Structure 1
Amino acid sequence: MKTADGTTVIHSLRAGHPKTLFSAFVYFDVSFMIWMLIGALGVLIAQDLHLTPFQKGVLVAIPLLGGAVFRIVLGLLSDHFGPRKVGLACLFLTLVPLGWGWLGGKTFPQMLAIGLLLGIAGASFAVALPLVSRWYPPESQGIALGIAGAGNSGTLFAIFLAPTLAVTYGFGWHGVFGLAILPVLLVWILFAVLSKESPGSPAPQGVRPYLELLGNHDLWWFCFFYSITFGGFVGLTSSLGILYHDHYGTSALTAGKLTAVGTLAGSFFRPVGGYLSDRFGGFRVLSLLFLLSSFVFVLFGGLLPPLSLAIPLVAVGVLALGMSNGAVFQLVPQRFPARIGIVSGIVGAAGGLGGFCFSVFLGAFRGFFHTDGAGFVLLGSIALLGAGGIAFKKKSWQSWAAPLQELPERVPDIPDGSRSGRRVPMEVVFGG
C-alpha cells in the first residue's frame, strides 16, 4: 500500500518516530478502554442502582462530557508543557476514578462524579495526536494519525472484556474498576520509556493566540464535523449495550459482545479513512462517508429492524463514522499545522460533547417517547447536514484541502483564517 506521494506506508511511518507512534497508540488505547468502562458496564450498574431510562442515558453520557471539558484543558497544557509530560500525568490521575469505582460508587451521584473524572482518560486524544503529528510530514499525517487514533479500539476491550470479567468470572462491576488499574500502570511505564517529544515542537505561547484562534471559522466547521463523526461513534459505543438489552432483550453479556462488533468496525477502519483521505482528499472522502452514515442511521431509526439485520446495519454505520474520524484528522493538521495541540483539544471536545448529547437524547427519547429510533434518525439527519456543509464550503477550501500530491506549497495557518495557498515547508511545521 502506498501513500499519496507514492511512498510505501512502512517507509512513510519510519520517516517519523515509530516508538512514539506505538506508545501513543497504546496510551490512547488503554485510555479509551478506561473512558468507556461505564458504558460497557452500564446494564449492570443500572440494574444494581435501579436507574430509570433517562438516568441510564445520563450515566453513560457523563464520561463523554468529562472528556469534552478536559480535552480543551489538555490541549492547552500539551502545547505549553509538551504532550509527553501531560500524558504521563493523565495516566496517573486516571487511577483516582478507577479506585473510587472499585471501593465506592454506591449511589447514582457518586457514579456521575466517577464518570466525570473518567473524562481525563477520554481527553487523551488531545495528548496522543499532537505527540504523533509533530513527528510526521504532511504527506504522512493521515496514516500516522489514523494509526494513533485507532487507539479508540480500547472501546472494544472495554465493551467485550468488562461484562465478561464482571459476569462470567464473577468480579462484579466494582471489581472490574479495580482490575483496570493494572493495565494503566503498565502503560504508564511503557509510555515513559518509549515516547519522545519532537525536537521541532513549537515554543509555548500565551493565551492571546488561542483566543484569536476562536475567531477562525474553519475551526468551528471542524468542530461541527467531529461532533457528528466522533460524537456518533462514542455515543453509540456507550449506548448500544443498553439498546440491545432493553429493546432486543439480550443479556448484559450478549449486549456487550454485539456492541463490540460495531466498535471493532469503527476503530480499526479509522486509519483506512486517513489513508484514503491522503490519497483522494479528506473532504471528498468525508462527504461520501457522511452520506453513507446518514442513509444507514435514518434507515435503522425508521425501521428498528430485527436483531439479525440490526447488527450488520449498525456495524456499517459505525464503520463509516470511524473512517470519518480519520478523514477529519487528516485535514486538521493541514489547516492548523502550528497549533495542532490546542486545535485537537477544541475539536476533540466538540466530538465528546456530540457524544454526550447523542447519548442523552437516546435515553430521553426512550424514557419520554418510548422509542429508540428517533435518536438514530436525528444522527442521520445531522450527518446529512455535514455533507451539505462540505458542499457549501468546498470552493473556499480547495486551496489546501485537495489530495496532497495535487497541492502547491502552502504557508502555516494564520489566526484570522487567511492563507496564501502554498503548502507548509517541512522546516516550518516541524522546526527542522
Structure 2
Amino acid sequence: MVNFWAWALLAPLAPSLAQSMRLTPVMQGLLVALPVMIGSLGRVPVGTLTDRYGARTMFPLLSLLTIAPVLVIGHFGRSMPVLLIGAILLGTGGTTFAVGVPAVNAWFPRARRGAALGIFGIGTGGTAIASFTTIPLVKALGPTAPFNTVAVALAVVAVLCWALLRDPADHVAPAESMIRRTVDTLRMSVTWQLAILYALTFGGFVAFSVYLPTYLKSAFGLDPADAAFRTAGFIVLAVLARPLGGWLSDHLSGIHVLGGCCVLAGLFAILASIELPLMPIGTVAFLCLAAVLGAGAGAVFALVGRLAPVGKVGAVTGVVGAAGGLGGFFPPLVMGSIYGAVGDYTFGLVLLAATALLCALLAYTALRRRAAE
C-alpha cells in the first residue's frame, strides 16, 4: 500500500502541473502514465527475482529504492525533464506487487488463495491514499509535504519488512537463470491469457486512478480537489471489491466470476460513454465500473494461484502484473489524444467497452478450456 501510494503521487497533481507548466493533454497523459509503464515492465524481472531471493529481501530493497525518485520529484521537480526522469524512477514502487503475490501464494492452501490474494490486493488502495492526501498536504504544509511524508513511510516499511517478513521454510531457489525462467513463462499460453484479462481489469483500474482527475476536470468542469476526491472514491470501491472477487472465485467458478465482470465492465463503460449528468447516473456508472474491475482483478489472481505451475508463480505474476500495468499505461494517452483531437472522450470509453466484451469471450473460451485440463 505504501509503495503504491508513492507510485501514484503524480496523478493528483497532474491537472495543476499541466496548468502551471502549460502542458498539452498528451504530455499530461505521458507524465502520469510513465510510472505506470515502468512499474509494470519492472514486474517481470522482479517476479522472477522474488522466486529466487524471496519477499524478505525484495520488499525492503524496492521500498528503499523508491525513496530516491519521491524526494527528487518533491524537491527538484520544477522542470519537465526532471519530472519525466522522476516519473520513470517512481515506477519502482509499482513493481512490489510482483513480490507480494508469490509470497502470499506460498503461505496459503489452494482453496484459500483467492481470498488471501484479494486481501493482499487491497494494497493497491495506496493510489487512493495519494488521491485523498496529496492536494490537502500541499495546501496545508507546502508542495514538498506529500513527498516527504511518503519518503518517511517507505523507510519505515522497509525496516518493518526486514524485521517481520519471513519466507516459507520449504522455499527453494530455482536453478534456472532469470532469463531462462522468463522465456519459459512467456511460452505458456495461460500466461498470455491471464495477462490479457488482467490488462483489462487492473489496467482499467490503474488508467482511471491516474486519469480520472483529468477526465472529470475536462468533461464536467470539476476543480482539481473535487476531481481528486471523487477519484479516490472510485479507487476505494475497486480496491474493496478485489477481495470479493477472489473470495467468490474460491467458492464459485473463477472463470464465471471473471467473465461476468468483463461483461458488466463493457456495459457500464457504454453507459459512461454517453456522458449523462455526473449526478447521479454518471457517478453510478463509474462506481459500478470500479466495482467490477476490482472484482475482476481479484478473480484473475485467484486463477493465477490455481493455474500457474508450482515454482513459477512469481514469474507468471510478473508477466501478468506487467500486462495489468501496461493496460493502464495506454488509455491515458489514448484518452488525451482523442480529447485533444475532437474535444470529447466518448470514443475512448466505447473502445473500453469493446475490449471488455472481447475479454469476456476469451475467459469463456480459451481460459475455460485451460482450467478444465
TM range (shorter): over 0.9
* Residue in structure 2 matched with residue 368 of structure 1 by the alignment: 341
* Count of paired positions: 369
**Counterpart amino acid of residue 82 in structure 2:** Q
Name the residue aligned to 1:397.
370
**SS at 2:222's partner residue?**
coil
CA shift for structure 1 position 283: 0.7
Of stretches 228-237 and 200-209 in structure 1, the one that deviates more from structure 2 is 200-209
TM-score, length-scaled by structure 1: 0.83
What CA distance in whole angstroms lies between the structure 2 residues aligned with 1:123 and 1:395?
Answer: 29
Taking structure 2 as the reference length, the TM-score comes to 0.96
- Of the candidates 307, 315, 318, which is equivalent to residue 287 of structure 2? 315
Show the counterpart of 1:100: 72
Range with greater deviation from structure 2 (390-399 or 218-227): 390-399
2:203 matched to 1:203? no
Contact kept? 2:238, 2:291, Cα under 8 Å: yes
The letter of the residue matching 1:306 is P
**How much has 1:62 moved relative to structure 2?**
0.8
Q: Does structure 1 retain, via aligned residues, the 8 Å contact 2:255–2:368?
A: no
Shift in CA distance, 137/110, structure 1 to aligned 2, threshold 3 Å: same
Residues 1:111 and 2:74 are matched in the alignment: no
Q: In the alignment, what sits opposite 1:79?
A: 51
Please state which structure has a larger fraction of its residues in helix.
2
What is the distance in 1 between the residues matched to 2:82 and 2:41?
A: 19
Q: Which amino acid aligns with 1:32?
A: F
Out of 346, 352, 356, the position equivalent to 1:383 is: 356
Structure 2 vs 1, CA of residues 102 and 398 (structure 1 numbering), >3 Å: closer, same or farther?
closer
- Are residues 1:37 and 2:9 paired? yes
Percent sequence identity over aligned pairs: 32
RMSD of the alignment, in Å?
1.3
The 2-side partners of 1:321 and 1:201 are apart by 33
Stretch moving more, 185-194 or 130-139: 185-194
Aligned residue number for residue 330 of structure 2: 357
Matches within 5 A, 1:185-334: 185-207=155-177, 208-301=180-273, 303-308=274-279, 309-334=281-306
Cα distance, 1:40 vs. partner?
1.9
Preserved contact between residue 256 and residue 364 of structure 2 (Cα < 8 Å)? no
Secondary structure of the residue that 1:338 maps to in structure 2? coil
Structure-2 separation of matches of 1:205 and 1:376: 45
The answer to whether 1:62 aligns with 2:15 is no
Distance change in 2, residues 1:288/1:395 (3 Å): closer
Q: Tell whether the 8 Å contact from 1:75 to 1:342 is kept in structure 2 after alignment.
A: yes
Partner secondary structure for residue 349 of structure 1: helix
Q: 1:213 Cα shift?
A: 2.3
How many angstroms apart in 1 are the aligned matches of 2:357 and 2:224? 33
Aligned 8 A contact 1:289 1:324 in 2: yes
Q: C-alpha distance in 2, partners of 1:213/1:398?
A: 17
2:300 is equivalent to residue 342 of structure 1: no
2:101–2:117 CA contact under 8 A, matched in 1: yes
Q: Whole-Å Cα distance in 2 between the matches of residues 65 and 257 of structure 1? A: 24
Question: Is the 2:185–2:315 Cα contact (8 Å) retained in structure 1?
Answer: no
Q: Distance in 1 between matches of 2:150 and 2:340?
A: 32
Which residue of 2 is the match for residue 171 of structure 1?
A: 142
**How far does residue 397 in structure 1 lie from its aligned partner after superposition?**
2.6
**In 1, Cα distance between the equivalents of 2:146 and 2:327?**
27
Q: 5+ residue gaps in structure 2? A: none
C-alpha change, 1:323 and 1:256, in structure 2 (3 Å) is: same
1:64 to partner: Cα distance: 0.7
- Name 1:123's counterpart in structure 2: 95
CA offset digits 1:215-264 (Å, max 9, x no partner)? 11111011100110111000000000111112211111111111111111
**SS in structure 2 of the partner of residue 269 of structure 1:** helix
CA 1:93–1:243: 2 relative to 1, 3 Å = same
Paired residues of 1:266 and 1:322 also in contact (CA < 8 A): yes
Larger radius of gyration, structure 1 or 2? 1
TM-fit CA distance, 1:74:
0.7
Structure 1 distance, partners of 2:371, 2:61, is 40
CA separation in 1, counterparts of 2:317 and 2:259?
21
Q: Which aligned pairs between 1:149-168 and structure 2 lie closer than 5 A?
A: 149-167=121-139
State how far apart, in whole Å, the 2-side matches of 1:265 and 1:205 are.
41
| Residue 398 (structure 1) shift | 4.1
Alignment check: 8 A CA contact 1:31 1:121 kept? yes
The alpha carbon displacement at 1:189 in A equals 2.1
Confirm or deny: 8 A CA contact 1:241 1:252 kept in the other structure. yes
Q: CA deviation at 1:190?
A: 2.0
Structure 2 counterpart of 1:376, which letter? L
Deviation sequence 1:289-311 (CA, Å, 0-9, x none): 0010000012211x111121222
Q: Is the 8 A contact 1:54 1:366 kept in 2?
A: no
Query: 1:180 Cα shift?
Result: 1.5
What is aligned with 2:114?
A: 142
Q: Decide which moves more: 70-79 or 388-397.
A: 388-397
